[in-house]
Structure formats: structure tokens, C-alpha cells
Amino acid sequence: MTRAAAAILCKDLRIELRTRESVPAMALFALTVYILLHFGLDRDTLDGDLASGVLWVTLLLATVLAVNRLFANEREDGALDGLLLAPVDRTAVYLAKAAALFLYLVLLELVAVPAFALLLLAPGLGGALPELLAVLLVADLGLAAIGALVAALAAETRVRELVVPLFLLPLLVPVIIAGASATEPLLAAPQEADGLGGWLAFLALYDTVFVLVSLAVFDFLLDD
Amino acid sequence: MSDGAGATRAAPAEAPPERGEAAARRGEPMVVLERLERRYGERPALQGVSVRLEAGATLGVFGPNGAGKTTLLRVLAGLLRPHGGRARVAGASLPEEAWKLRGRVGYLGHEALLYRELTGRENLRFHARLHGVAAERVDALLAAVGMESRGDDPVRELSRGMVQRVAAARAVLHDPPLLLLDEPRAGLDIAAAALLEPLVGRSSGRTRVLVTHDVEGGLAECDAVLGLRVGDQALSAPAAAVAPARLRELYA
């Protein structure tokens, strides 16, 4: 299963490198939002809960873009049938898609977080960077786990552009609550790390639950 | 089961699942359908289809557009669940054992099942990894379908016929015991069709289910004939007992 998942992941990354359809779109979207907020808000900088909310809502909406595209190359020319006909556990498909989405999110954040700090953040990232990275990575696991599941659910529907946000956003509400709550003191002045451990534990638990649920139901999603 | 490209499967890490050849050795037909049914919503796409296909034989499926031919192939591939009747393919009962069919069916349909942004070689290598097939077979198959020189071009830059050739190589990459072919020569010129003959034609020696609108040509390479008309089985007979005129009536 690991070998098949690695093969599917490599294929997806190769296609993304050639088409540059997902990561650049996500990054451009996030940058655009931050620039709009930079000029649109009646204040020069943000901190605390507002900064945290802006950061997470933008990342969440950028995730929707990637989830919409996650099975795009499988839909063209019936390529998904090729996967389904191969002696490959459906779980490998899920793991590969989730891993691809996780990598896309990490790449997005490499661009979006510095841009956010530069354009909007009053206290700067400063010494809170390691804690912020930890929150982002654990939250990314949840976004990827849930995103891959919803992408598969929407893959064979004609209204996938509607299905993805309608299913994805409600499922991600706990992630954004935990992520924003964990990040808020890190983006405040002065920076603190109050309750960080608890929120990280909550995120890890939510990630685990969704990975297990996804592994249990993914076979049925790709079935006729 | 020779295809002229020197099949060399990589040694599997675990005991391989029972393949269609095992069913054939036991004397079990490769395909047995009894009153098969399949619906799309309330609309029946297949009903009352009964077929028995021995290993190594070819079943020709004829019928007008919308008769259910592609649906039948997708049911046989395990991609669609039958909604009624009995279906046993390559020793696997459908839909319960559809997982057993994975890797044992070669499917060549209207869609190429290829990734447009990858080259033909990359597509075949990807499928070779999924099927546990040695990479050398990819090069041999590209040569066999006459795509050696264009094998490193993205599929989106290839002509329809070239895509079909790569798709045929993909369909037989894992040396499947059962081939499901939906107008396999569509878009091919005479030379390309001749190139594919050892892979997917009668001389491949594989068990085949062949959907075609070429009445004379199809009859000539079939052992049995199934005629469909809007999902219903209109005809099921040995090919030798069917006149071309009888098949043309299906399209009237």
C-alpha cells in the first residue's frame, strides 16, 4: 500500500509541477486577500484575535481551491478508472491525496505567512514562530485529512464546486476554532503561548479521528 | 497469453491473488452472466443479459448507441455494480468480490485512462508501479505500439490515434487474462490497427469482450455474439450461427 501511495503522490506532484494549477492559485489568493485587507481595513496593522482570524480564514478558503482541484487530473480522460482497475487498496489513493494536499498547504504557508506578517501583523512573528509553525503543521494534517475525503466525495459529482465548500467548511470549523484560538496569543502584543498545548492536543485528536473515519469510509466513496 | 512484447512481471512481495488463468484451469468460464441487470436511477441500462464466455474466446457485443454496451463492459470490469442477476468474471462474483478483479482486467474504452500532462512513458511507468510490473516492459510495449519516438511527449500533444496506441499498451501492461475492448480501433489508421493486433486482437490469445459497430469485421473475430437493444438482450448466439444481416437489424 505504501508503494502505491508513493507512486500516486509522485504522479500528483509531477503533474502539479507541470501545470502549476493548485499551489500558485492558493498562494495568489492568500496574497490578494492580505493585500485587500491591508488597504481595505481602516487600520494599518492587526494583532491578537483579529489577526488570528484573518490568517486562518484566508488559509481555509485557499484550502477550498486546492480541494476542488485535488481529483481534477483523475477526472480527465477517465484516469480514475485506471486507478480503480489497478490492484491498489483505495486507502493508498486517500493517503496519497491527503499527503499531496498537506504538501500544498505547507508550500502555501511558506508564502502566505511571511506575506501576512509583512502586510498586516503588528507585533511581527518574532519569537512565536516555532509555536506558530507547530500549530500550522498540526492543523494542516486536519485540513489535508478532511480535504482529501471531501475531494473524493465531490470527485464524481457534477456540482463539485458547490459540494466542496458546502461539506468542507462545516467540517473544518473545529480546526479553525482550535487553530485561531491557539494562534491568537502568539499574534498578540506581547506574545504569549497560553493554552497552546491544549489546543494542539485538540487538533491532534481531531486529525486522528478524521484520518480514521476517512480510512473507514474512503472505499465506499470511490465505489459505484 | 503472449503479446509480442515480452511480459516480465516483477516478483510480487506477497503471494499473488488467484488470477483468471486459475479459473480457466478449473474449467470455469471466464465470464458467466445470468439475467444481469443494471439501472441508472430508475432507467434500466441492462436487463436480462445472460452470457457464458470460455477462456480464450472472444465475445462480440453489438447494438445501437445507448444499448448498454459500455455499461456492460464497466460492470464486467467491476467499475459498476450489477443491480440484479448473477455475474461471475475471472472467478470473482460481482459485486461482492469486485476487489478480486483489480489487476486482472485490461480495459480499453472511449477514454484513454491516461494523464494528459504526463508523457506516454510516464503514464505507463506509473501504471507499471501500481501493477508491480517491471519497468522494462514499458519500453517494450512502447516499441510494440510504435510509440518509441513519441513516448516522451505529453499525452495532450499526441493525436487521437497515438493516444489510443498508448492506451492499448496500458490495457495490456499487466498481462491481464481478460480484455474489455470498447471500439479499440477507433481513431487508428490501418498500420496502427495492425500494430495493436498482437496486443488486443484475436491473435493475442486473450479472452476478450469486444464492443464494435463493425458488423462484418466484428463477426469475423468473435466466437460468440451478444446483441443489445436499449439494455435488453436481443441476441445471444455463436458467431458462426449469426448472419451479418441479423446484426444489422439491431441498428434498424
C-alpha cell at A68: 476542488
Report chain B's C-alpha Rg in angstroms: 18
Average pLDDT of A199-220? 92
pLDDT the model gives residue B211:
95
The nearest CA of chain B is from the CA of A82 a distance in Å of 5
Phi, psi angle pair for A7, to nearest 5°: -65, -45
Contacts A81 to B, Cβ<8 Å: 77, 79, 107, 109, 111, 113
pLDDT the model gives residue B26:
56
Mutate to test the interface with B, among A85, A88, A218 (most CBs of B within 10 A): A85
Say whether pLDDT at B199 is over 80.
Answer: yes
Range of the structural domain that residue A217 is part of: 2-223
Nearest to B114 among A77, A223, A224 (CB): A77
Find the residue in B nearest to A18 (Cα): B117
Say whether pLDDT at A98 is over 80.
Answer: yes
The nearest CA of chain A is from the CA of B111 a distance in Å of 5
pLDDT the model gives residue A121:
83
pLDDT digits (tens, 9 = 90+) for A143-164: 999 999 999 999 878 887 888 9
Spatial contact of B194 and B188, defined as CB atoms under 8 Å apart: no
* Helix (H), strand (E) counts: chain A: 9, 0
Compute the CA torsion angle A84, A87, A89, A90 (nearest 10 deg): 0
Contacts A84 to B, Cβ<8 Å: 78-79, 102
Q: Where are the alpha helices (DSSP H) in B116-227?
A: 120-131, 136-144, 160-172, 190-200, 215-220
Please state, in angstroms and rounded to a whole number, the distance separating the CA atoms of residues A104 and A72: 15
State the CB neighbour count (10 A cutoff) for residue B235. Answer: 16
Say whether pLDDT at A85 is over 90.
Answer: yes
pLDDT the model gives residue B186:
86
Give how many domains chain A has, as a whole number.
1
pLDDT digits (tens, 9 = 90+) for B124-177: 999 999 999 999 999 999 999 999 999 999 999 999 999 999 999 999 999 999
Please state, in angstroms and rounded to a whole number, the distance separating the CA atoms of residues B73 and B61: 9
Report the relative pairing of strands B58-62 and B224-229 from DSSP bridges.
parallel
Nearest to B131 among A19, A77, A86 (CB): A86
C-alpha cell at B223: 466466437
Average pLDDT of B209-233? 91
pLDDT the model gives residue A147:
96
